[in-house]
Amino acid sequence: RFGVQIWLAPGMNIHRNVLCGRNFEYYSEDPLLSGKIASGITRGVQKHPTCGVTLKHFACNNQETNRFRSNSVVSERALREIYLKGFEICTKESDPVAVMTSYNLLNGVHTAHRADLIETVLRGEWGFRGFVMSDWVTTTIGGDHKHPPISASGSMKAGNDIMMPGNKDHLADMIAALDDETAAYPINRDVLVRNASRVIEAALSLVLLDVF
């Protein structure tokens, strides 16, 4: 009705603490219930031509206090059985158009920089076919005495396909890291083509749905 094609929802994070300021967006403390509800919503939205959803915030973004710099320390079992399970269910059952990474760190590494999370698990294990975006103004967060800041080049290398909302600093960072092995996160043309192709494929699929 309003010409919005990509909905920045559903929110998939777990109700880990009753004080989380965005629990109203999320579904449950139960990952099975969260996954099933989000899966139904995703199918409902995407049955409409040109419309797609964005699963967020991937992953372990379960508090609002200090969410820009919080470090979620999670065991492999808890990660798989609780914090990723809803995302997995929805991805496998409903084929969402997009996924959004989160502000927080996961075991000391920004989720936007985790290729193991984005490429290995989301795409490799679950078969996700859409595109991945960063959360808004992620790269303006900066680092601290323990952890480096989030960068566009690091995010692109890890499998984020687009930085939101995008700015000249992102472009400058990527150009500086292009074919420079001394950069913190060196990237090459293949990385940029891979990421751009995913965004283009998603855009074309939504447009073609409208045409045909």
Does residue 135 carry a catalytic annotation? yes
Say if CB 133 and CB 118 are below 8 A apart. Answer: no
Catalytic residue, from 95, 135, 169, 180: name it.
135
The verdict on whether omega for the bond into residue 186 sits within 30 degrees of 0, i.e. cis, is: no
**φ, ψ (nearest 5 deg) of residue 198:** -65, -40
Phi/psi of residue 75, nearest 5 degrees: -75, 160
Burial class (CB in 10 A: 0-12, 13-18, 19+), 104: buried
Contact 170, 163 (CB under 8 A): yes
User: CA-CA distance, 83 to 44, in Å (whole number)?
Assistant: 24
Residue numbers annotated as active site: 135
